[in-house]
C-alpha cells in the first residue's frame, strides 16, 4: 500500500513537472511574439494649436445724421440710423466690444451707439455716448459666430439749448477685447 502511495506521489510529481514545462513553453512562445511585435509599430504625433480667435467687422458707413426738425418749445429731435451692422467671431469666453470716436464731439451734440448683442448667454448691450475714450457697448460675449447684428447710431442735442449748426465726420472704432 505504501509502495503504491509512493508510486502515486512520484507519478504526481512527474505530471506536475510536465505541466510546468508546458506552461513555461507557452509563456516563452507568447513572450517571444510579444518581443517581436514590439518592433512592428511606429508612432507619429499630430498636434494642433487653437489660438485666440477674435474677429469683428462692420458692413459699411451709416447715412448722414441730419438734425433738422424740432417741436416748438422743445430741443431739436434726435435722429438715428440703423442701416449698418457688425459681425463677430470669437472663441474667447469673456469678451466685450468697445467703441470710441477719433475726435471729440461738439459740446452741444451727443453721438450715441447701440449694438444688438449676439445671441449668446450672458451677452448684453449698452447704449453708450461716444467719446475719444473706449466705452463698453457689448459685454459678456462667449464663443460665438454671429453676423449682421444691427448698429444703431443716434445724434442727440446735449445741454439745454439747441445745438449750433455744424457738420462733421467721425470715425468710430469698435474693438473686440478681453473683458
Partner 1 sequence: MQGFAPLSFLRELEWSIIKKAVLLFFIPIAFLNLSELSACAVDVYATGGWKLTINSSCLAGGAGSGLIESFESSLDASMINITGTSGSADAWRVRVRKSEALRLHGVALYVKRTGDGTGSGTISGGTSYTAVETSDVDFFDGCGDRTGITIQYKVSGISINVPPGIYSTTITFTVVGR
Q: Which chain residues interact with partner 1 by CB under 8 A?
A: 1, 4, 8, 12, 15, 19, 22, 25-26, 29-30, 32-33, 36-37, 39-57, 86-93, 143-148
- Residue position matching grid coordinates 458692413: 59
122 or 168: whose CB is closer to partner 1? 122
21 or 70: whose CB is closer to partner 1? 21
Neighbouring C-beta atoms of residue 32, cutoff 10 Å: 10
Which positions ≥6 away from 90 have C-beta within 8 Å? 53, 54, 55, 141, 142, 143, 144, 176
118 or 157: whose CB is closer to partner 1? 118
90 or 101: whose CB is closer to partner 1? 90
Q: Cβ of residue 47: shortest distance to partner 1, in angstroms?
A: 4
Which positions ≥6 away from 91 have C-beta within 8 Å? 50, 52, 53, 143
Amino acid at each position: 500500500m505504501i509502495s503504491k502511495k509512493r508510486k502515486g506521489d512520484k507519478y504526481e510529481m512527474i505530471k506536475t513537472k510536465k505541466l510546468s514545462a508546458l506552461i513555461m513553453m507557452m509563456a516563452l512562445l507568447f513572450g517571444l511574439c510579444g518581443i517581436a511585435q514590439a518592433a512592428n509599430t511606429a508612432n507619429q504625433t499630430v498636434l494642433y494649436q487653437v489660438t485666440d480667435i477674435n474677429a469683428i467687422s462692420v458692413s459699411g458707413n451709416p447715412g448722414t445724421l441730419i438734425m433738422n426738425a424740432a417741436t416748438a418749445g422743445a430741443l431739436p429731435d434726435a435722429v438715428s440710423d440703423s442701416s449698418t451692422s457688425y459681425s463677430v467671431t470669437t472663441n474667447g469666453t469673456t469678451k466685450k466690444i468697445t467703441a470710441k470716436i477719433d475726435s471729440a464731439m461738439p459740446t452741444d451734440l451727443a453721438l450715441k451707439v447701440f449694438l444688438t448683442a449676439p445671441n449668446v448667454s450672458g451677452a448684453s448691450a449698452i447704449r453708450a455716448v461716444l467719446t475719444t475714450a473706449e466705452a463698453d457697448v457689448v459685454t459678456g460675449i462667449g464663443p460665438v459666430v454671429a453676423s449682421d447684428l444691427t448698429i444703431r447710431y443716434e445724434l442727440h442735442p446735449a445741454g439745454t439749448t439747441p445745438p449750433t449748426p455744424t457738420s462733421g465726420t467721425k470715425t468710430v472704432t469698435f474693438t473686440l477685447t478681453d473683458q
